[in-house]
């Protein structure tokens, strides 16, 4: 009996002739690269920033609603879980900013060489960690 998956390999080219198409690589066989990893993280941090903005909006609405509602959200954000969310939001903000600057350089046509792309990718990660740690150390010292 012929494998039924063979039918998935058949397609037509631009001239209408039948051709044998390969399947796309799966995550199990695809080796992650710096460019794909930073692109995926950029999308994830963009979504996280959207959720964090909703949290900031809720905080502002509670502040405007009165002391009782503000104390509830303030207690949530001051807990260990709330601080974890805020630190993650800050890291997402720094990562998205630094990687956005990297994308601006790409828009200008710079940084497409593979060694440069790897260096700037690692620089984005290093700057994100450094900026997040510095921000929160200063924040805890002032708090």
Structural domain contains residue 110:
yes
Q: What is the pLDDT of residue 26?
A: 65
9-52 pLDDT, tens digit per residue, is 677 788 878 777 666 666 666 778 898 899 999 999 999 999 99
Domain that holds residue 91: 37-142
**Helix pair angle (114-142, 80-107), 10° resolution:** 150
pLDDT at 106: 94
Q: What percent of the chain has pLDDT over 90?
A: 73
89 domain-assigned:
yes
pLDDT at 136 over 60: yes
- What integer pLDDT is reported at residue 17 of this predicted model? 82
Q: Is residue 30 part of a domain?
A: no
pLDDT band at 1 (very low <50, low <70, confident <90, very high): very low
72 to each of 10, 21, 33, how far by Cα in Å? 59, 57, 43
């Amino acid at each position: 009996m012929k494998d039924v998956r063979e039918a998935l390999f058949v397609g037509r080219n631009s001239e209408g002739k039948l051709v044998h198409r390969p399947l796309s690589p799966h995550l199990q066989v695809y080796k992650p690269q710096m460019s794909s990893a930073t692109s995926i993280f950029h999308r994830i941090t963009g979504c996280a920033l959207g959720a964090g903005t909703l949290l900031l909006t809720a905080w502002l609405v509670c502040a405007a609603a009165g002391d009782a509602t503000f104390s509830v959200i303030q207690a949530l954000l001051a807990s260990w879980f709330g601080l974890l969310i805020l630190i993650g939001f800050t890291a997402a903000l720094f990562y998205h900013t630094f990687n956005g600057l990297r994308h601006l350089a790409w828009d200008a046509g710079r940084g497409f060489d593979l060694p440069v792309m790897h260096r700037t990718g690692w620089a984005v990660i290093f700057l994100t960690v450094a900026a997040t740690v510095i921000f929160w150390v200063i924040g805890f010292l002032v708090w």
